[in-house]
Structure 1
Amino acid sequence: MRWLSTALVILATSLATVYAASGPTQCLAFDINWNLLFTNAIYVINGDSKNPTTVYIYDATAKSWSAQTTTTTPATSGGPQFDPTNFGGILDHDTNVFYAYSGSNEELFSLDMGLLKSANSTAIPWVDVQKPNFATGQSTASYQPVMALAQNHIHFLGLPGLPAGDAMIFVIHFSFLQPTPQSYGTFPATHGRAASFFQQTGVQT
């Protein structure tokens, strides 16, 4: 995987050089199985504190950066607005769509990147998907989202009121939040820890 190491070194160097004055990158999102093999691109969200709504795109083939503008204006006047400075997000590798949970208003938003490997002149809108009803019995106002992806399902972990190891699951293609949590056993909800779970049979949901 020497080519991957080289690409990531280029990415780190470019970020340090181009955006050093803007502060550290808040969210670096890419998927090895999708972006680097199909669009061959890397997306950086909230990497520039002066332009938090801009998505920076690195074209790994052309070895070039471009800046894609986005809009956060609600489609309906007075509707929920995405806050690019307060969110947790994940990229769905089947649709190349970002899903982000905004802590400012507890809403789930989406950003469709299509097959972009370089920016175009048309701003992409952040679209309000829904206000997830996690129904955990406790307030989620201070929830710092931990999101995991599996087979078109987004898993929300660490929700207040749920045992460690339980997840609420959002089904992407049906835009549906499953009403009951899924248990993955017991493991500590500890900062800095990561885990992977695989079913022995069936679809990884």
Structure 2
Amino acid sequence: MPKIVDPLTRRRAVADAVLRVVGREGVEGASLRNVAEEAGLAIGSVRHYFSDHDETIIFAMRELIGRLEGRLHGHIERLLSPAAGRQRRTQVEEFLAEFLPLDEPRREEAVLWQAFTTAARTRPELRPWALEWQAGTRALLARVLRGAQEEGGLPDSLDVESESLRLSVLLDGINLQAVLEPDLLTPDVQLELLRRHLQTLQDASWKRAVGPAE
């Protein structure tokens, strides 16, 4: 009997190959031939599951977004739970740290995302996905800041939308420079920059609401 291959499983295997190639050579290096070779498949097999090169790139980009979203939403659920209590400040830092290349897996993700967003500037088919991720990130950050504000941890006068944009820009900047200069922006330096920024948003009411950091 011929071996039955699950189409979604095969598409995800191809997406993994795309991500490996993009990580090494950028989006432009992820040709169908290179991707097929990386996946150990014939080009015809790749074309059986994807209509064209653009579809393989978009699918891989969406797979990366899905992985990032899954990890972030797990943090959000814990962070916004009433049970968080005095751990909330620590959990805020842990949530935001997921955006930073603090270890090799997150550094690989940062490299991939920078490759995709750079390509999105000149490839219209990628741009909607890049913009959707950026908007979703700002929405998550705003949700966290607004939650702290509603608990009295941040002043009512805080412009949540503006501050979520500022925080998003900070995280993007740290990512970019940490990928380019890892010896300069070590994990400790990245976390210190993040904590200093959070300190600018904090006041006595935040400290009363969440207590000292664990």
- Fold in common (TM above 0.5): no
Q: TM-score normalized by structure 2?
A: 0.22
Q: Which structure: larger Rg?
A: 2
Higher relative contact order (CA 8 A, sep 6+): 2
Q: TM-score normalized by structure 1?
A: 0.23
